[in-house]
Amino acid sequence: MRPTPALDVRGLRVTLPGTARPVLDGVDLTVGAGETVALVGESGSGKSIASRSALRLLPTGGVAEGEVRVAGEDVLTMDAARLRQVRAGTVAMVFQDPCAAVNPLRRIGDFLTEGVTLAGTMSPARAAARAVELLGAVGLDGSVLRKYPGQVSGGMLQRVVIAAALMGDPVLLMADEPTTALDVTSQAEVIAVLATLRERFGTGLLFVTHDLDLAAAISDRVYVMYAGRIAESGPAEALFARPRHPYTAALLASTPRMEGPRGRLAAIDGQPPDLREPLRGCAFAARCPLATEVCDERAPLPSPAPGRPDHTAACHHSDLLEGSAVDA
């Protein structure tokens, strides 16, 4: 019997007031226990809304349909009391800017412990001990508990936020661009911490990023999102070596490289489709060099690569990319 996934999203559709089409349109996504899954794509593709749906943190006026199961329970249908418990322990989020996650007037010790104590899942004494334990796990000592956020570096504060996310021993940890606001050295430290914690605690990790190199380095599997739909998904090594969707191939081609000949950086012409306009066919058709009439008329369904049922692409012409390799 297969273990219950940390996150299992099926047919997720999210609509917002004032839009002509869903911001998320039939998203399927799975994160296994102890697995790292990257969700990549351009800004505005729907990555953050997809991840925050696991906490039922939808934009104002947002309506969600489908299933979003965390450790087997559907977050979209549970009552408010159970949702508070899930947010306090089962699933946790690490946001992009650690400074926005903490109260600058409260000590770090209070930030780490008050959530679980107010939720009633830990006594104050147990919460304090757990905070020291997790600070050690992210490479900090207990003296940090007495400091204020302004007294530590950005990299240290992001480690504190990661420790706070783990206070309730979640089965699912989501990280939404957690290294974007940090310098290169701090980025590497935070990534190493996340990898170590995943191995130590067996937590499923959903890593949201626009950095393809980072996604390739840390993830077991990757989902590529475009205009609220999953364009391609599969094992990280296979997806980056042989992309099956023109959007994935274009993203890889536009990634700066230190090696190889110097030249003008490749770019993806055009813009993503406007949410205020209805969408009939493939969302990427207007920017795709392989697009034909069928792409404008009918949205493609995900189809597996020959001999690789775990590597799928939603493209009418994915066969034209079969066997093509991309230097990564």
Task: Kindly report the CATH number assigned to the domain that includes residue 64.
Answer: 3.40.50.300
Q: Report phi then psi at 242, rounded to 5.
A: -140, 75
Which of 203, 219, 235 is a domain's end point?
219
Residues forming a β-bridge with 176: 208
Whether 58 and 102 share a structural domain: yes
Model confidence, pTM: 0.89
| 21 in the same domain as 160 | yes
In a domain, 235, yes or no: yes
pLDDT of residue 36: 95
In a domain, 1, yes or no: no
Examine the domain organization and report whether 233 and 215 are in the same domain.
Answer: no
Burial of 111 (0-12, 13-18, 19+ CB in 10 A): buried
pLDDT at 263 over 80: no
Position 322 scores a pLDDT of: 63
CB 191 within 8 A of CB 184: no
Of 219, 243, 260, the position where a domain reaches its end is 219
Q: Is the pLDDT of residue 64 over 90?
A: yes
Print the domain residue range for 258.
225-320
- Tokens matching residue 24: 């998320």
Question: Amino acid letter at 8?
Answer: D
Total tally of structural domains belonging to the chain: 2
60 and 17 co-located in one domain: yes
Token digits for 87? 């947010």
Q: Which of 191, 219, 247 is the last residue of a domain?
A: 219
Q: Are the CB atoms for 326 and 318 separated by under 8 Å?
A: no
In a domain, 178, yes or no: yes
Q: Across residues 85-106, what is the average pLDDT?
A: 88
Quick one: 164 and 63 in the same domain?
yes
For residue 261, pLDDT over 70 is answered with no
Residue 91 sits at the vertex; the CA angle it makes with 85 and 93, to the nearest 5 degrees, is: 120
Q: Are residues 270 and 137 in the same domain?
A: no
Residues 13 and 88 in one domain: yes
In a domain, 2, yes or no: no
Q: Could you give the CA distance from residue 198 to residue 175 in angstroms, rounded to a whole number?
A: 12
In a domain, 328, yes or no: no
Instruction: Please check whether residues 177 and 232 belong to one and the same domain.
Output: no
- Residue 327 covered by a domain: no
What pLDDT is recorded for position 258?
Answer: 67
Query: Same domain for 37 and 176?
Result: yes
d(CA 194, CA 218): 9
Say if 205 falls within a structural domain.
Answer: yes
Question: pLDDT tens, 147-206?
Answer: 999 999 888 898 899 889 888 888 999 999 887 767 777 778 778 888 887 887 788 999
90 and 215 together in one domain: yes
Sign of the alpha-carbon dihedral angle for 226, 230, 232, 234: positive
Is there a single domain that holds both residue 72 and residue 91?
yes
* Res 326 pLDDT > 50: no
| Residue 323 pLDDT level (bands cut at 50, 70, 90) | low
Domain match, 235 and 148 both? no
Q: Do the domain assignments include residue 192?
A: yes
